Structure 1
Amino acid sequence: MKQIDQSVLDAFDTMWGLYPEPVMLIHACRDVLAVNRRAEELGIGSGIKCHSLYPREKTCPGCLANRMLKSGEAERKGALFPQTGRFLDSYWVPVKGVSDVYIHFGNDITEYVKPELMEE
């Protein structure tokens, strides 16, 4: 697993530790460097490849991390997950001053989504 400065890990925990949805700090090679409390409660830990959660051998088809890493700008995508019936508003956000590291999370916004979007 890639190593990262402790100050970055501390800042991640300060900002995201109590966020109500799972949040991961990820290296460009897809190593999960840290997770917040909600991710831990769901059994997600650091030291894995993020795509192994789905489970996949390679980057997920809808992943926008590569685009975000190339542009240096945050990316957002809303998508229905048929296996759960939930609609997630997902984000890939670069970490300022730390190359090749980003934050990834998705907010469950199912209750706010138009019914026609739930039929995709």
Structure 2
Amino acid sequence: QVHPLRSPDIELPGSFDLILLGIGPDGHTASLFPGDPALEASGPIARVDEPGLPPYHPRLTFTYPVLDSARAIVFLVGGADKREIVGRILAGDESLPAARVRARETFLIADEAAASR
């Protein structure tokens, strides 16, 4: 049986060694979308009621405090539609949620289409 989340006040048992993430064409990661209030959440998990891209259903996401406490973050990115976003992230454009992740170590693995400039 699934119970609805009434409060995102969930405690996690410490930090993660590795978190694997993707990057969306708008620069979102982990359901942290540009302009969403979840970007400023201080608890470990935030509810995202109106995600910026399909599927348009409420989601839960780890917040920056959880992502930033990980020993390593690995971003996997593929496709020519991500080329511009990857360039902006690598240039440090903090208007993009993926560029704001500050884990101890961060790796970006991209296919040729996403990585070419």
* Length-normalised TM-score, structure 1: 0.27
Greater RCO (CA < 8 Å, at least 6 residues apart):
2
Higher strand share: 1
Structure with more helix by fraction: 1
